[in-house]
């Protein structure tokens, strides 16, 4: 399901807060013309008075204002009101993106503002908002169903099927929120689910855990909904600052999925948070190492890397299957759990079959593919090509 098909209730009210009247007037006028009724405030105190009288879906606020700052306003809104907050500033060097997001902001916008980008981001925030509302409604229905299960045990089997459907529907809707920015995301999450399910089975996990991994693994990158498009879809190599922003998708995803009582969403949160940890402790966001990394995160790490290598990305063309396999071998014990790496390689033909079944595009040949700047910087091109050359001579 494409996220653009998610219905946003009509006329959601927006509050724009900025001590520069020209900016509030410009944003208000533009949004009103596109069917988003707006109110404006010149400072945080005025905004709080309006919030006590009118429920707003989204508050768009400047950070630097007389009196209470936009960050202060953000914290008050998250504690006392039911509204999402987008912050904007022209002083990006004075404010840390991650800290503002972790304080509860739905997005961080740089001035001068491109209205087209503002509108895209606002719609994305609204989509996610109503996904969360729908999720909460589903959870309330689940709680009612659980109460009915206690009272009507004879209907246990039917109710269980309904609960399972509701869980899976929630997952599909949340994953859809990231799909609309990447035409390959749909196939990516299907491949990831199949790879991870295979690995869980080969590890001898109980059937219940295998099923949970099958449904939870597609949620690994849900936090990318909080990463700006100009960074996420950048074709050139990321700067150090941009990479720090990309890394926050792990904690953003964990935040979206936290506090659920559903086992599949608990596992989804664990995967979202840990799938970029490395066996040698050099991953993120927590720098976990070895078996301190949950097995779900260790499985996802190798499946996600392999799929990224063999797929088109904004910064690279697909790598040939053999090159991807050799990169996986080279990262055994460093990036990846050695046992899971061996298991992955022992079942590489099954992995190939899954990929070919889902992705029927012609494979990239060794003579045609181009190394990404990231792998060239890491020296991976020389290491792998030397290995391939040696195998060829043998």
Give me the chain's average pLDDT, please.
82
pLDDT at 183 over 60: no
**Residue 30: pLDDT over 70:** yes
Alpha-carbon distance values, 69 to 19, 48, 209, 260, 393 (Å)? 11, 12, 47, 32, 67
The yes-or-no verdict on residue 307 having pLDDT over 80 is yes
Task: Check residue 114 and give its pLDDT.
Answer: 82
Position 5 pLDDT exceeds 50: no
What is the pLDDT, as a whole number, of residue 377? 66
Q: For the residues 24-47, what does the mean pLDDT come to?
A: 91
Q: Which helix (H) or strand (E) holds 197?
A: helix 185-202
Query: Measured between alpha carbons, how far is 298 from 203 in angstroms, rounded to an integer?
Result: 12
Distance between CA 221 and CA 236 in Å, rounded? 21
Indicate if the pLDDT at residue 125 is higher than 60: yes
The domain locations on the chain are 3-123, 182-393
Work out the angle between the directed axes of helices 348-358 and 185-202 (0-180°, nearest 10): 150
Distance from C-alpha of 313 to C-alpha of 311, rounded to nearest angstrom: 6
Whether pLDDT at 94 is above 70: no
What's the pLDDT at 293? 97
Out of 3.90.550.10, 3.40.50.2300, 3.20.20.80, 3.90.1580.10, the CATH code matching 3-123 is 3.40.50.2300
- Which of 265, 300, 301, 299 is closest to 283 using CA atoms? 301
pLDDT at position 189 is 82
Q: Which H/E stretch holds residue 60?
A: strand 58-62
State the residue for tokens 């589903």.
138
| Residue-wise pLDDT tens digits, 98-124 | 777 777 888 888 888 888 888 888 888
Three-state secondary structure call for residue 214:
helix
**Which string of b and e fits 5-38 if b means at least 16 CB within 10 Å?**
ebeeeeebebbbbbbeeebbeebbebbeeeebeb
What average pLDDT does this structure show over 88-105?
74
* Residue 145 C-alpha from the chain's centroid: 29
pLDDT score of 166: 64
CA 73/CA 48 separation, integer angstroms: 8
**pLDDT band, residue 131 (cuts 50/70/90):** confident
Cα end-to-end distance, the chain, whole Å: 49
Q: How far apart are CA 247 and CA 254, in angstroms?
A: 12
Alpha helix positions (H), 86-155: 97-102, 115-151
pLDDT-based confidence at residue 364 (cuts at 50, 70, 90): low
| pLDDT greater than 60 at residue 353 | yes
Q: How far apart are alpha carbons 57 and 51 in whole angstroms?
A: 10
Topology of domain 182-393, CATH: Hypothetical protein af1432 (1.10.3210)
Among 122-126, 224-228, 294-298, the range of highest mean pLDDT: 294-298
pLDDT exceeds cutoff 70 at 193: yes
């Amino acid at each position: 399901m494409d996220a653009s098909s998610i219905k946003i209730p009509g006329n959601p009210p927006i509050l724009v807060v900025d001590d520069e009247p020209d900016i509030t007037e410009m944003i208000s006028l533009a949004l009103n013309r596109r069917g988003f009724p707006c109110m404006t405030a010149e400072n945080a105190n005025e905004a709080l008075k309006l919030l006590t009288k009118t429920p707003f879906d989204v508050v768009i606020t400047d950070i630097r204002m007389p009196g209470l700052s936009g960050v202060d306003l953000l914290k008050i809104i998250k504690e006392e009101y039911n509204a999402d907050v987008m912050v904007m500033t022209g002083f990006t060097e004075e404010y840390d993106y991650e800290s503002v997001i972790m304080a509860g902001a739905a997005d961080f916008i740089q001035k001068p503002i491109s209205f087209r980008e503002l509108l895209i981001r606002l719609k994305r925030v609204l989509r996610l908002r109503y996904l969360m509302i729908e999720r909460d409604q589903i959870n309330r229905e689940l709680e009612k169903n659980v109460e009915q299960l206690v009272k009507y045990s004879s209907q246990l089997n039917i109710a269980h099927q309904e609960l399972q459907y509701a869980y899976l529907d929630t997952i599909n809707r949340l994953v859809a929120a990231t799909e609309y920015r990447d035409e390959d995301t749909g196939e990516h999450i299907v491949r990831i689910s199949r790879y991870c399910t295979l690995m869980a089975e080969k590890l001898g996990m109980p059937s219940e855990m295998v099923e949970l991994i099958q449904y939870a693994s597609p949620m690994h990158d849900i936090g990318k909904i909080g990463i700006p498009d100009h960074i996420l879809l950048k074709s050139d190599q990321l700067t150090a600052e941009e990479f720090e922003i990309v890394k926050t998708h792990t904690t953003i995803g964990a935040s979206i999925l936290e506090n659920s009582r559903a086992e599949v969403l608990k596992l989804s949160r664990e995967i979202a948070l840990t799938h970029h940890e490395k066996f040698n402790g050099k991953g993120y966001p927590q720098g976990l190492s070895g078996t301190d990394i949950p097995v779900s995160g260790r499985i996802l790490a190798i499946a996600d890397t392999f799929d990224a290598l063999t797929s088109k990305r904004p910064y690279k063309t697909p790598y040939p299957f053999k090159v991807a396999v050799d990169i996986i071998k080279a990262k055994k014990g460093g990036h990846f759990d050695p046992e899971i790496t061996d298991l992955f390689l022992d079942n590489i033909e099954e992995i190939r079959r899954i990929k070919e079944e889902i992705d029927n595009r012609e494979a990239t040949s060794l003579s045609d593919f181009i190394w990404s700047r990231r792998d060239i910087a890491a020296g991976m091109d020389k290491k792998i090509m030397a290995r391939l050359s040696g195998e060829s001579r043998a």
